């Protein structure tokens, strides 16, 4: 195993057939040591079971506010997926895990625990959000409104990198900065940190992530690589990544579903 591994990022739209094919072909052509996916233990287990959870089951597993937020997000996601004519029952993550299993490659779960993300979301999002959203929308100029309409007509099949969805991320940041920090920025930093840990262990990795996370993860990886090259930047880098647990772990699943842990120091 080499001293430093490599990372190949596959930015995708979760429910796109085109992107599922791209995920499969990249893994097969690259033949990495590890396939990293935008999942945590809970979501990986749900995928393996091929079953969802009803609101009642979620309420038993998660705090009530967190379960409610998760249920609403799932409903919104299903609606958007169907509006674009995609298949809500098939995802890029499923394709990645299945392909890894076919090639007997381990799967790394690099996303934050869903309960933590939803708990943070519940803390930041309250009844005042809708009035704020309305006020921010009213302040949008004609150019911003035109860009918003243009984004609604973008074909998912044309998305090949984070650059293609960056305008949508910036629109979200403008209208819903509270959600963007939790759903995008914080997870970008966490996933980048976990990928860096895998790379530092010498693993060659194919990472399958939503296109909206591509550029943020890439920036995190570049910053961490620069930190490793220049010990003098350690203090500034640690400040940049404040809020990420230094003792976090990367769950690694094999086709036999055994789990090991790789510390992130």
What's the confidence (pLDDT) of residue 98?
92
Q: How far is CA 225 from the centre of its chain?
A: 20
- Spell out the residues 6+ positions from residue 98 whose beta carbon is closer than 8 angstroms to its own: none
Q: Is residue 82 part of a domain?
A: yes
> Who's near 215: CB < 8 A, 6+ residues apart?
162, 163, 166
Check if the beta carbon of residue 71 is closer than 8 Å to that of residue 55.
yes
Alpha-carbon gap, residue 183 to 162, rounded angstroms: 15
- Residue 259 pLDDT exceeds 50: no
> Distance between CA 114 and CA 133 in Å, rounded?
25
Average pLDDT in the 145-168 region? 71
Percent of the chain with pLDDT over 90: 36
- Residue 17: the pLDDT is 86
Closest CA to 198 of 33, 39, 42, 43: 33
The interaxial angle of helices 114-124 and 41-49, nearest 10 deg, is: 120
- Domain membership of residue 52 as a residue range: 7-263
Element (H, E) at 12: strand 7-12
Strands 249-253 and 106-109, sheet pairing = antiparallel
Q: Does any domain span residue 141?
A: yes
> At residue 30, does pLDDT exceed 90?
yes
Please state the separation of Cα 92 from the chain's center in Å.
12
Q: What is the pLDDT of residue 153?
A: 57
What integer pLDDT is reported at residue 214 of this predicted model?
96
Q: Which residues contact 129 (CB under 8 A, 6 or more apart)?
A: 176, 178
Res. 32 pLDDT band, cuts 50 70 90: very high
d(CA 99, CA 82): 25
Q: Is a pLDDT exceeding 90 seen at residue 7?
A: yes
Is 2 a domain residue? no
pLDDT of residue 43: 85
116 or 108, greater pLDDT: 108
DSSP 3-state of 178: helix
Instruction: Return the H-helix or E-strand segment holding 69.
Output: helix 64-83
| pLDDT tens-digit map of 73-87 | 555 555 544 444 455
Give yes or no for residue 252 having a pLDDT over 70.
Answer: yes
Residue with more model confidence, 203 or 235: 203
Q: Is the pLDDT of residue 245 over 50?
A: no
Instruction: Give the pLDDT of residue 72.
Output: 57
Q: What is the pLDDT of residue 157?
A: 73
pLDDT band at 3; cut points 50, 70, 90:
confident
Contact 255, 101 (CB under 8 A): yes
- Asked whether residue 27 is domain-assigned, the answer is yes
pLDDT of residue 45: 85
Alpha carbon distance 219, 233 (integer Å): 15
Q: Into how many domains does the chain fold?
A: 1
Looking at residue 42, its pLDDT comes to 86
- Would you say residue 162 lies in a domain? yes
Q: Does the residue 185 lie in any domain? A: yes
Does 89 have pLDDT greater than 70?
no
Instruction: Tell whether 1 is covered by a domain.
Output: no
Average pLDDT over residues 84-95: 69
Asked if residue 238 is part of any domain, the answer here is: yes
């Amino acid at each position: 195993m080499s001293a430093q591994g490599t990372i190949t990022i596959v930015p995708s739209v979760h429910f796109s057939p085109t992107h599922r094919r791209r995920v499969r072909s990249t893994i097969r052509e690259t033949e990495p040591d590890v396939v990293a996916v935008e999942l945590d233990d809970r979501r990986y287990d749900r995928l393996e079971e091929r079953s969802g959870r009803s609101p009642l089951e979620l309420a038993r597993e998660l705090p009530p506010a967190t379960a409610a937020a998760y249920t609403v997000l799932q409903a919104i996601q299903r609606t958007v997926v169907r509006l674009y004519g995609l298949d809500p029952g098939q995802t890029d993550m499923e394709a990645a895990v299945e392909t890894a299993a076919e090639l007997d490659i381990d799967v790394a779960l690099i996303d934050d625990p869903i309960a933590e993300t939803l708990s943070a979301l519940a803390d930041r999002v309250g009844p005042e959000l809708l009035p704020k959203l309305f006020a921010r929308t009213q302040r949008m100029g004609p150019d911003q409104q035109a860009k918003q309409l243009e984004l609604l007509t973008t074909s998912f099949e044309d998305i090949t990198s984070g650059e293609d969805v960056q305008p949508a991320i910036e629109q979200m940041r403008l209208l819903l900065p509270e959600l963007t920090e939790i759903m995008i920025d914080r997870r970008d930093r966490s996933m980048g940190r976990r990928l860096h840990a895998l790379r530092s262990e010498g693993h060659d990795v194919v990472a399958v992530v939503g296109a909206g996370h591509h550029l943020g993860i890439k920036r995190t990886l570049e910053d961490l690589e620069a930190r490793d090259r220049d010990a003098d930047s350690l203090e500034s880098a640690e400040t940049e990544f404040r809020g990420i647990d230094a003792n976090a772990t990367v769950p690694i699943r094999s086709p036999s579903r055994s789990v090991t842990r790789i510390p992130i120091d």
